[in-house]
Structure 1
Amino acid sequence: MAANEYAGYIYLQLKSIASLYDIDFHLYLESSGGFGELCMDWDELNGYALYGDERGEKHSLFTTHEFDEFKYEVFLQLCFRMGLEYEMKHRNLDYLRKDEDDLEGDTRKIAFEETIRLLTTMSADWAERAAEQYTKYLNMWRRTKNVQYDFETSTFRTVD
């Protein structure tokens, strides 16, 4: 099977998985027309590649030879896009953030929670990986590094 045939096969496989879990499939094979959309490709040398196609230039996000790692990264990106859309639709425009430690005022919190919720429907392992990654990210600029993800409530919270 030629490289472009294999890439097409992988693309269709990912699209099929997305449809099973009702994930918006905003992924292009090789090129998006140069509008910065998420694209994928495969070749023997570099393996699986996930990148942004911006005006004909590939801006790499992720490459691997491991299909399971690639699949996780693809769905992490697709679910995050959906998480951002969810957050924007549900943003409380009246809430005034108190300071950088105010978790409830951090708009990323809702986007990350929705991303994890979507990933949970696909794989508990993927959800755990994303929760760990997002917890580190939410704690990165906080004075008090006390944000944790609670799988029982499906929310980020602060602990004392």
Structure 2
Amino acid sequence: MSAKEHAKYIYLQLKSIASLYNIDFHLYLENSGGFGELCMDWDEESGYSLFGDERGEKVSLYTTHDFDEFKYEAFLHLCFRMGLEYELKNRDLTYERKDEDDLHGDTRKVAFEETIRLLGTMDNVWAEQAAHHYTAYLNMWRTQKNVVYDFSSEQFVEK
């Protein structure tokens, strides 16, 4: 099987998995026509790669030879896109954020929660990985590093 055929095979596998879990499949094989969309490819030397296609130039996001790592990274990006769309549709436009430590006013919180929820429908380990990553991210600029993800409520909370 040629590299091009193998890349297409992997792409179709990912597309099939996405359809099983109702994940919007905004992923292109090799290029998106230069519109900055998420793309994937595979070759012997680099392995699996995710990248943005910006006006014909590949802006690399992630490369690995491990297919399981690649699947996680691809679905993390796809679910995050859906999480952002969810947050925008459900944003409380009347709420005014009090300060940098106001978790309720941090719009990323809702997007991250939805991303974790979607990943959890696919793989609990993926949801745990994303929760750990997003917890660190939400705490990065806070004066009080007290945000944790509560799996029982599927929300970020302050401890």
TM value normalised by structure 1:
0.99
**Alignment partners' CA distance in 1, 2:89 and 2:24:** 16
**Alignment partners' CA distance in 2, 1:138 and 1:146:** 9
> Paired residues, what number?
159
**Alignment partners' CA distance in 2, 1:32 and 1:119:** 24
C-alpha RMSD of matched pairs (Å): 0.2
- Paired residues for 1:51-130 under 5 Å: 51-130=51-130
Q: Deviations over 1:75-112 (max 9, x none)?
A: 00000000000000000000000000000000000000
Report the AA paired with residue 13 of structure 1: Q
Tell me how far 1:13 sits from its aligned partner: 0.2
- Percent identity of equivalent pairs: 75
Secondary structure in 2 matching 1:104: coil
Secondary structure in 2 matching 1:100: coil
For structure 2, the residue ranges without an aligned partner over 5 or more in a row are: none
Q: Which residue number in structure 1 is paired with residue 14 of structure 2?
A: 14
After the TM superposition, list the runs of 4 or more consecutive aligned residues in structure 1 that deviate by more than 3 angstroms.
none
Q: Which residue number in structure 2 is paired with residue 33 of structure 1?
A: 33
Tell me how far 1:30 sits from its aligned partner: 0.1
**Alignment partners' CA distance in 1, 2:116 and 2:145:** 20
Does the alignment pair 1:144 with 2:134? no
Tell me how far 1:53 sits from its aligned partner: 0.1
